[in-house]
Amino acid sequence: MRRFAWPLLVVASCGAPAPEPIQGDLSAVLERGVREGTDGFDHSAWDQILSKYALENGRRFDYAGLRKEEGVLATYLDSLADADLGNLRGPELEALFINAYNAYTVRTILDRVSENGDFEIESIRDIEDVFTREAHVVGGFRLSLDNIEHNVLRPRFRDPRLHFAVNCASISCPPLPTDAFEGERVEEQLESAAANALGSPDYVSVEGNALVLTKILEWYGSDFVNPEYRGSEKSLPAFVSKYANEDVRRFLEEKKHEVEVRFRDYDWRLNRP
């Protein structure tokens, strides 16, 4: 249990990976894209997959169904591998790396589903080094899921809403976006992702006199209160209040001086139907 006074800056990362900018050639390529890029990127194949296989507003994913026509995913991943990152505009890069994280996560699970739809695993964490192995190619660079999230997305784009856009194939993850992120719409899509998660009682609720939050807000609490991050606030309750449902907002308005905060246990079981 923690008590957060609204005016105070709260930092709560609890051992989660720190955002450390990627180094080397990829860093230079990304800098060039942000500075000089003019191109867009076609995510229609990923959009097609999400529209068909992301179920229950993104809370579940039909891996077994996609297994029967995984060629569409293979084509999209090939396009990510060949992307000319240095010619993509900043928002296009942000959208691409969000989609890359989610698409490669789906591919990782799909590799553990047999042709008849049987699953070899119960959780993504059953896969050895699943977040740290450099098995995913983006723009010619071989990266891990951690590289994409903690070395590209978080430190470069500095937006706490990213935590509601990437999906780790688990029940307690924020919903998988049901359409592909696009550079021209990435701002409104991030806003929608945050609202979909934090407005749901599955991620934010009031229990007795406590505000109960998704574990993500404990693991990455520093991102939500870091003044260098877009849309950050001085406390977790203050950030949550921007997106919470009416019951939660009313509770927070009544608790003007101090809020007791608890964090939910995280359910790592696969987000399969």
Tally of domains in the chain: 1
- Does residue 221 fall inside a structural domain? no
- How many CB atoms neighbour CB 194 within 10 A? 23
Please tell me the distance from the alpha carbon of residue 243 to that of residue 197, in angstroms, as a whole number.
Answer: 8
The backbone torsions φ and ψ at residue 144, rounded to the nearest 5 degrees and listed phi first, read: -95, 170
Contact (CB, 8 A) for 188 and 194: no
Query: What integer pLDDT is reported at residue 15 of this predicted model?
Result: 57
Please tell me the distance from the alpha carbon of residue 113 to that of residue 202, in angstroms, as a whole number.
Answer: 27
Q: Which residues, other chains included, contact 62 with Cβ-Cβ below 8 Å and sequence gap of 6+?
A: 52, 53, 55, 272, 273
- Does residue 207 fall inside a structural domain? no
- Does residue 233 fall inside a structural domain? no
- Does residue 10 fall inside a structural domain? no
Please tell me the distance from the alpha carbon of residue 192 to that of residue 198, in angstroms, as a whole number.
Answer: 10
Please tell me the distance from the alpha carbon of residue 79 to that of residue 11, in angstroms, as a whole number.
Answer: 38
State which amino acid sits at residue 205: S
The closest alpha carbon to 139, from 187, 190, 184, 85, belongs to: 85
Q: Which residues, other chains included, contact 46 with Cβ-Cβ below 8 Å and sequence gap of 6+?
A: 76, 99, 102, 103, 180
- Does residue 147 fall inside a structural domain? yes
- Does residue 103 fall inside a structural domain? yes
Q: What is the pLDDT along the chain (273 residues), one digit of tens a residue?
A: 555 444 333 333 445 899 999 999 999 999 999 999 999 999 999 999 999 999 999 999 999 999 988 999 999 999 999 999 999 999 999 999 999 999 999 999 999 999 888 999 999 999 999 999 999 999 999 999 999 999 999 999 999 999 999 999 999 999 999 999 999 999 999 999 999 999 999 999 999 999 999 999 999 999 999 999 999 999 999 999 999 999 999 999 998 768 899 999 999 999 999
- Does residue 270 fall inside a structural domain? no
Domain that holds residue 32: 19-202
Q: How far is CA 6 from the centre of its chain?
A: 26
> Which secondary structure element, helix H or strand E, spans residue 92, and what is its range?
helix 90-110
- Does residue 213 fall inside a structural domain? no
